Each structure stands twice: as C-alpha cells, then as structure tokens.
Structure 1
Amino acid sequence: MVTATGNPGKAARTAAKSRTGWGNGRVVAARIGVIVLVLAAWQVVSGTLIPAYAISKPTEVAVALWQVLTSPSGWTDIGTTTFEVAIGFGLGVVAGTVLGLLLGTFPVAGRVLEPLIAAINGIPKIALAPLFLLFFGIGTLSKIAIAAIGVAFVVFYNLYLGLRQRERQLVEIVELMGGRGLHTLLYVTIPTLASPFFAALKAGGPLAILGVIGGEFIASTDGVGHELFDAAMALDAPSEFAGLIVLVVLTLVLNGLLTQLDKYALKRLGLAPRKARARS
C-alpha cells in the first residue's frame, strides 16, 4: 500500500492541490474562461470605445482567418514562412554549435574572436536585413540568412559559456581513471552542455520567426510577413489579426516540438528529473 511517507513527491503534489483547490482541469478551464472573457470584451469595445477599423472584431477576424485557411494563396504564404523558419533555424543551430564548440575548446581562439563576435551580435539583426537582401535578393535565401544569424548567436553563447563553466575537476577525474577524449565528451561535456543547448534552441525559435517575418516585411513576394505588410498598408485589421494568429500557432508548434525533443534527449542522456518512486 502506498503511503504519503513512501511517496513524498506525490504527497507534496496532493498537499499543494488541497491548499489551492486547483487541479489541472480547473487550470485549463480557467485559461479558456480568460480567453472567452477577453474575446467578449474585445467584441463589445470594438466600435464603441475603440474605432472598429483599428482593432476589428473577433467575428471579423474569424472570417478573415477562415479565408486564409481555405485559400491556396494563404497556405502558400504559410508554407513559405514555415520553410524559411525551419531551414534558417537549422542552419543557425549548426553554425552556432560549431562555432561555440571550437572557441570553447580552444581558449586562445575564444579570447581573440569572442569580442569581435560580441560586437557583431550587438547589431540589431533586422538592421542586417537590407544587407542580406543585397546579397541574396528578395527570395527565400535572404529570409533564411536573417533567421540563421539570430539563432546562431544564441546557440554560440550558450555553448561557449557552458564549455567555459565546465568543471575542470570532473575532466581531471575522468583522465585519471584512464579516460580519453571520447570519455570526457560523453561523461562530462555533453551532460554539461545539454541543458544550455536546449535552452538556446527554445530561445532561438522565436528569433528565427522574428527574423523571417522582419525580412518578409522589408521585401518579399510571399509569406505571412508579406501578407501582414499588405494588410497594414490597406488598413485591413481583420487580416492583420488573422496573420498574427497564424504566427502564434507557428510559434506554439515550434516550441512544442522543441520541448518534446528536449525531454526525449535529456531522458536518453539520463539527465531528466527522476520521479519519486512509490514504496509499498
């Protein structure tokens, strides 16, 4: 028989629920209730307290979103943006990982190049968009480049600082036990860098989307950002909010995939938090 003493984790969760009276079901219901209240307030104030052309109405946004999701051009824009985000994110992760590992492994190179990288990172990425447009044109390559550079810097700094903070004593212990470079990599470096690496991925996802949308705003022929720009120029608030909803969904999907990848990788590495085991 499982007792509270034998399962402290379960006992703590049960005690927390009893104190607050809020389980997962009630939390989800509360979130839905907040969304419904916000939509209802939005519907009421639109056209009364705030001009309808500025914020539209939820009903009109729903119609505009339906038009986007039922038109071939709408899915073309979504597909273009998704492709640019995915490729730019992937290239940024690879570039940042390689650079972070190289400069973190070779301290002299890190001391020489890190200030230069910091100076380049200080430039707003959207300010580099016109330069990439000159290099790669107004097609997908320029948007991919903008997304990749933003992600690369985040991944680089997380891995570079992670390597610098790696405990030297653990490395020496592995070496004293006869371990070689591969053993140090498997038992010290990878466990040390796993958490900062996946934190960088989650931080880089929104940056990739931001870079792509910014590039599409400046110059593009398709994409969600292009449609947002056209809607803004036409003062089409419903289409503007519909495009924003598409971006929110894209961000949630990307974050969800990265979260699952994080959990799977940490579990495979044996770094996932262990649940308290029930004792009978």
Structure 2
Amino acid sequence: MSTQAESNGSDHPIEVVLVTGMSGAGRTTVANVLEDMDWYVVDNLPPQMMRPLVELVARADGALPKIAIVTDSKGRAKYEELEDTISDFLDQGLSLRILYLEAADEVLVRRFESTRRPHPLQGEGTLLEGIEGERSALESLKHRADIIIDTSELNVHQLSTQVRKRFSTVDTPLLRLTVMSFGFKYGLPKDADHIADVRFLPNPYWIPHLRGHNGLDSDVADFVLGQNGAEEFIERYTATLDTVSQGYLHEGRGYAMIGIGCTGGKHRSVAISERVAKSLAAQTGIPVTVRHRDLGRE
C-alpha cells in the first residue's frame, strides 16, 4: 500500500495509519508515540466512522495532515467490517498504512496477568482462549499489514524507538531538547533532567557597567565567555550532553530539559545557555530551544 492518503480534489495529502494487532502488544504505546510526533490520534474508532473522519480532516485544508486510527478487539464481526472499510478506502482512491503489533502467546499471557485484566475476547473462557480467538480473527488483517512489529522482546522504550524511526521524517525530530537558564535563588526548574551550576564564573552583577544588562547583551556575553574555564566548561558539558542525548534516542525518549543556573538567572546562566544550545545543536543535529526563565525578574 502507498503511504499517502488524499481527499478527492484536495491539494493537501493526508497520511493515514491504522494501528491494530494483538491486545497487549503495545497499541497504547504506539498511539502515545505518534501523538508526540504530532499525529492526530483517534482511539477505538468504529470502522464505519473511518471514512467520515478522513473526509472531515480533508476539509480542514491541511491542518491535520497525519491521522492515526487505533482499533481494539470487540469481536470477529468488527474486524470483518474493518476489512470492508479498508477495501472501501482503496476503491475510492484513498490509501493508508496498516501497522500490526504482534507478540507471542506466552508473552501476552504474562502481560495480561501482570495487569490483572481479562482479555477483551476472553468471555467465560480462559485467557489463552481469548488470545487465540483474537489471533484467528486478525489473521487476514495481518496479511494486509504494511508494517509488522513483534513486541515479544521489546520494552516500551524499544518499541517507542522503532515507531519513531519508522514514522519520522526530516521535519520530525526524534528528540527535542530545551536549554533553560535560571536563577538558583528562585528555585530549581521542576522539570529539568540535568542541572549545571555556572556560579563558579565571576558574576557580572558586580561590574557596575554590566549590572543593568543581561547575558543576551554582547558586552555581558563577552565578559562571561572570556573568563577562565568558561569555554572549557562549554566544550566538556556539550560533549556530555551529546552522549546523554544519544542515550535518550536509544531509549525512545522524545524530550529533555537542561537547566543551567547562576545566582539570579540574568547574566552568567543566560550567556552560557545560549552558547551551550548553539554548540549542542551543531554537534548533535538535534533541535534545541533556549528559554530564560528568570530573565525578566527584578
């Protein structure tokens, strides 16, 4: 199947992915990852509503170009209806990708037992009977899948990484980083993953002609970056963050916050944050945003 769905007469292509497969194989994880990648995710959508959804989004004139439809298990009849809907998509000139999630029976049994929830198709039978019934109902749909991921040996982070790699584009970064300057006297950023303290550098606050300026001003930045140890710190800290970022990518993490603090968050931390962000983006190729939390404080 092709990877683009397009509304009749629309100049804006709509990319549609149908996320299906065995219950307990990771549909929720996949949905969360796609949502983080700016897909419009619809969970548990009845098959007969798939076409109206795509047509509605098409009229949004490209505002929602990527749709992920997640289906769950409600019986064989639902999947037969779903296959009819897929055929209707193709007959009408629309196309979509089907992502099918698979896992071994024993793995699914362990996952359901750990959550203490029954299988959707278990009914009055055993857990394994519910799994076997679902596998049988999904067999023909599995054969139509464009992507099959077996999650038997994957944890949630590894599955997230696989999904990100398969659905990312040049415009969709696998990881986003934010470098935030702050003042220690106003408290640590609560959502920071890493904290760096640059109070080891001389404080421009005590230089009369610099006190009223901040780290975005060239005279303050030149003073801070010209101090002994400043460039060495930036070089070594950026290298450390590069290593950490690669670990985040491997673990499927989509976002991280780096906090760089000085006393008031106005001079040293601002200048160093700007330089670290620039160096980090150049070294890793990862999009980096800079924020200055306390710059406007008195």
TM-score (norm 1): 0.26
Tell me: higher relative CO, structure 1 or 2? Use CA pairs within 8 A at least 6 residues apart. 1
Q: Which has the higher helix share?
A: 1
